[in-house]
Amino acid sequence: MQLQGAPNTTTLINNKEYLFFSGTSYLGIPLLPSFQELISESISKWGTSYGSSRNANLKLDIYQKGEHYLSTFLNTEDTVTVSSGTLAGHFALRSLREKADCFFYMPKTHPAILTDDATPVFENSVLNSELKNAKNKSICILVDAIATLETSSFSFEFLNTISESNTIYLLLDESHSLGVLGDNGSGISSQISNAKNIEIVIVSSLGKAFGINGGIIAGSKEFIHLIKKDSLFIGSAGMSPSFLEAFVKGEEIYQNQLKKLQENCSYVFEKLKHLSAVKISKNYPVFFFENEEIADYLHKNGILITSFLYPSSTKKINRIVLNANHTKKQLDSLVDCLIQF
């Protein structure tokens, strides 16, 4: 289906309006007039792009200001921005190659942070014996904060069963949790064990909840220094300075939208939590319907959701997405259809 304009809570297909419960714009930022004003002001100052290496002798101060703001927001020692979340994952993996002896991955890890030589953390729901028996190694564990087909984060208790003689680098992709979960939308990293032998490296897209093109890598000063001296980083232009400034100035807008989103999530959860066919969480704006016919049914009733074959799944994902701008009337239309299905 070809959309005839950027979707918000509704969209047009062949000049017919549909309710839109798809995408990843959880905070409903891209078409929000107040945020578009910030973007317009920032473009007037910084232009539409800045095609220069971040390591050049002449630097824009918004990168330093924006990255300091992000470090404070994420409670990390340092942060660097890049042009996309996928590139953030790629850079992080390149630098972790210099540190880790072996790589393990949690179920349904996104391809952006997955390596060909990584082995599963769990085998038949039991901690991998290689991981359990590892001693005096540098281990990298790859994980999405919110995995595909999940509505809550993983439990990280398994980290406590790995020998403390190992150094563990936890590469955490917060693309679908940043802006939505955690204190003020700062993600789930603060909920993970801060044991001395565990170093968390956060990567994330800014193009989902935060509604701007860009990506971030956050962690220790030493690790971010590795990123900045990577030859590919040196040869790449940064993210749009205009978008970064709008992100910094948009703090109040983001917080207001998060409050609205949380209210919408809670409202729908209370109405659907009794349905066995629905996988839903009170605090997360994405939920799933297991019957593959649901997308066609909703389409006939004027509602669009995400339905497609995902690389790590053997069947269609029917992904229903709430955003902060959905009205109670729109939410009721969705809920009524799902209950009647």
Write down the pLDDT at residue 313: 61
Task: Name the DSSP class of 158.
Answer: G
The total domain count for the chain is 2
* 142 and 26 together in one domain: no
- Paired tokens of 66: 């924006």
3 found inside a domain: no
Q: Can you give the residue range of the structural domain that contains 155?
A: 55-239
* 26 and 65 together in one domain: no
The enclosing domain of 329 has a CATH number of 3.90.1150.10
Among 178, 212, 239, give the residue marking a domain's end.
239
* 234 and 112 together in one domain: yes
Residue 120, class by beta-carbon neighbours within 10 Å (0-12 exposed, 13-18 middle, 19+ buried)? middle
> How many residues are listed for the chain in this entry?
341
Write down the pLDDT at residue 149: 82
Determine phi and psi for 83, rounding to 5 degrees: -80, -15
The enclosing domain of 214 has a CATH number of 3.40.640.10
* 124 and 218 together in one domain: yes
**Shortest CA distance to 301 belongs to which of 6, 7, 17?**
17
Task: Name residue 78's amino acid.
Answer: D
Write down the pLDDT at residue 292: 85
2 found inside a domain: no
Residue burial 125-163, b: 16+ Cβ < 10 Å; e: rest: eebbeebeebeebbbbbbbbbbbbbbbbbbebebbeebe
7/20 Cα distance (integer angstroms): 7
341/330 Cα distance (integer angstroms): 17
Residue 297, class by beta-carbon neighbours within 10 Å (0-12 exposed, 13-18 middle, 19+ buried)? middle
Which are the contacts of 210, defined by CB distance < 8 A and separation ≥ 6? 27, 29, 178, 179, 247, 254
Q: Which residues pair with 304 in a beta bridge?
A: 20
Helix (H, G, I), strand (E, B) or coil at 181: coil
Write down the pLDDT at residue 193: 80
| Successive 10-residue mean pLDDT values, the chain, 341 residues | 87 92 97 97 94 88 97 97 96 96 93 93 93 96 91 91 96 97 95 90 98 97 96 93 98 98 98 95 94 94 89 76 98 97 92
Write down the pLDDT at residue 310: 67
142/124 Cα distance (integer angstroms): 18
H helix intervals, the chain: 33-46, 61-74, 85-96, 129-132, 221-228, 231-234, 241-249, 251-272, 294-300, 328-340
Which are the contacts of 139, defined by CB distance < 8 A and separation ≥ 6? 100, 101, 102, 103, 104, 131, 162, 166, 167, 168, 169
The pTM of the full predicted model, rounded to 2 decimals, is: 0.94
Under 8 Å between Cβ of 184 and 94: no
Write down the pLDDT at residue 312: 58
* 311 and 273 together in one domain: yes
pLDDT in tens, 190-220: 889 888 999 999 999 999 999 999 999 999 9
* 18 and 138 together in one domain: no
